[in-house]
Amino acid sequence: MVAAESAVPQTACDYHVAMQVDLRESWWIGGVEVPTRLVLAPMAGVSVQAFRRQGRRFGAGLVCSEMVSCAGIEHRNEKTLGYLRVASDEHPLAIQIFGSDPVAMGEAARLVEATGADIVDINFGCPVRKVTKTGAGATLIDDPALACRIVASVAAAVDVPISVKLRRGVRNGSRDCLTVGPQLVVAGASTLTLHPRSAQQMYTGTADPQLTAELVELVDVPVVASGDITSRARAQAVLATTGAAAVMVGRGAQGNPWALREIVDGDHAEPTREEVVAELVLFIRETARELGERRASGFLKKFYGWYLGRGRFPRPFKQELVVLGSTLEVERRLIAAAPGALPLIDELERELPSGDEVTLELPISAYGGG
Ligand SMILES: Cc1cc2nc3c(=O)[nH]c(=O)nc-3n(C[C@H](O)[C@H](O)[C@H](O)COP(=O)(O)O)c2cc1C
């Protein structure tokens, strides 16, 4: 009897913890249905199309482009426009823009909508000086009136829903997201994503989901919880204790799409070497098509460590790959290490939608966008 009684939730918090949240449940951002409660984070220098497509295959319900400069869009910078390519297997997809001029942001949003994005995401989280010194990114949390004008201008410019991604505030310990967040919703945001670190913290310390829980109580739109989510247990705990509609996963998915599957489906199976090589080779091929060989060659180096680490391959193997001269050589070396990957690669290639060949040269922006 005692045991049965103690299993009954006594407080709201106990109740949330007792609930098993179904990550395969769909939810809505305005009129856009998001099929799972996992969102793949926007990451500058990471969120190329291959990353987003892979994220969808492994269970992300929503994927997001890295932050795209509104000024670049305004000036029709050819390279910036390259970020706005949307493939048929990416939907629903958010394209994230950053800038500080409401009119220009509205114009940029119009172009983003025209490219086929399902959601326009606004970056109020980037802590990097290159961005904040222009008055964009996380600094806008310090200027709620301007932040609201930006959101209102973007919302008026497009028919698709607007999402906003923000930090807890600019300075350590700040709780400004709790005053600014509700104002952004009134201005027209259909969802908020909170990364509850301060801009000053960059990526140090830990994200504080207590703030996410408080924000959820204050707004009547879905809130997405970002920060330090790397496992199903953590995702379940954050969803249950914050009341967030979804979790966002960033660094945990770098070179590790299997983490997404674990989070969404509870599938703990570690990938075989063949599976790792197959995913990495597909990633290399797609990225080379997207960025062109020269750019892809440098861009991909960090991914080798991310994929091959975690005890999957001996450390010197990664060192071998980063000094090879072309992505084709890397591919050959990988397949030599795991020949059984070949049929898996063929299968993955077959599943890609046809007609999505990508040949534009795209820029890689500085890291650290939010
Ligand atoms: C390399 C890198 C680049 C990032 N770029 C962006 C970005 O372009 N836009 C953005 O809103 N957040 C950006 N972020 C922040 C992530 O979206 C996410 O909020 C943060 O990393 C916390 O989640 P995590 O602990 O799951 O990584 C970036 C993070 C990293 C590590």
Is residue 121 within 8 A of residue 164, CB to CB? The reply is: yes
Ligand 1 and 234: CB distance under 6 A: no
The set of catalytic residues is: 126
Closest Cα to residue 286, out of 44, 49, 85?
49
Distance 141 CA to ligand 1 centre (A): 17
Per-residue model confidence (pLDDT) at position 81: 87
Distance 106 CA to ligand 1 centre (A): 23
Summarised one tens digit per residue, pLDDT across range 144-169 is 999 999 999 999 999 999 999 999 99
Nearest to 319 by CA among 308, 331, 335, 327: 308
pLDDT tens digits, one per residue of 271-312: 999 999 999 999 999 999 988 999 999 999 999 999 999 999
Q: Is 49 in the pocket of ligand 1 (CB under 6 A)?
A: no
Judge whether 299 and 362 are in contact, CB under 8 Å: no
79-118 pLDDT per residue, tens: 788 888 888 899 999 999 999 999 999 999 999 999 999 9
Give the model's pLDDT for residue 14.
47
Count of beta carbons in the 10 Å neighbourhood of residue 217: 10
Least confident of 123-127, 140-144, 234-238, 357-361: 357-361
The 8-class DSSP code of residue 361 comes to -
Contacts of 292 (CB under 8 A, 6+ apart): 359, 360, 361, 362
Does the beta carbon of 306 sit less than 6 angstroms from any atom of ligand 1?
no
Which pTM value belongs to this model?
A: 0.92
Kindly give the number of the ligand 1 atom that is closest to the alpha carbon of 193.
19
CB of residue 252 inside a 6 A radius of ligand 1: yes
Question: What distance in angstroms lies between residue 12's CA and the mean position of ligand 1's atoms?
Answer: 31
In sequence order, which residues have a C-beta less than 8 Å from that of residue 131 and are 6 or more positions away?
67, 98, 123, 137, 369
Helix, strand, coil percent values for the chain (each to nearest 5): 50, 15, 40
Give, for ligand 1, the residue of 195, 256, 299 to mutate: max count of ligand atoms closer than 8 Å to Cβ: 195
Cα of 43 from ligand 1 centre, angstroms: 5
Q: Is the CB of 44 under 6 A from ligand 1?
A: yes
Q: How is residue 362 written in tokens?
A: 């795209």
Write the pLDDT tens digit of every residue in 48-86. 999 999 999 999 999 999 999 999 999 988 878 888 888
- 226 Cβ closer than 6 Å to some ligand 1 atom: yes
- C-alpha separations of 322 from 141, 277, 339 in Å: 40, 15, 20
**15 pLDDT more than 90:** no
Q: Are 251 and 58 in contact (CB under 8 A)?
A: no
Q: Give the distance (Å) from ligand 1 centre to CA of residue 250.
A: 6
For residue 270, CA distances in Å to 55, 257, 274 come to: 17, 11, 11
Q: Supply the residue whose CA is at minimum distance from atom 22 of ligand 1.
A: 227
d(CA 196, CA 45): 22
Closest atom of ligand 1 to 41 CA is: 17
Q: Is the CB of 54 under 6 A from ligand 1?
A: no
The DSSP bridge pattern shows strands 93-98 and 63-64 to be parallel
Residue to probe by mutation, ligand 1, list 39, 43, 228, most atoms within 8 Å of CB = 43
Mention every residue, 6+ apart, whose C-beta is less than 8 A from residue 337. 273, 277, 313, 317
Q: Which residues face 224 on adjacent strands?
A: 193, 246
157 CA to centre of ligand 1 in angstroms: 26
CA distance linking residue 261 with residue 36, whole number of Å: 11
Q: What residues are paired with 138 via a beta bridge?
A: none
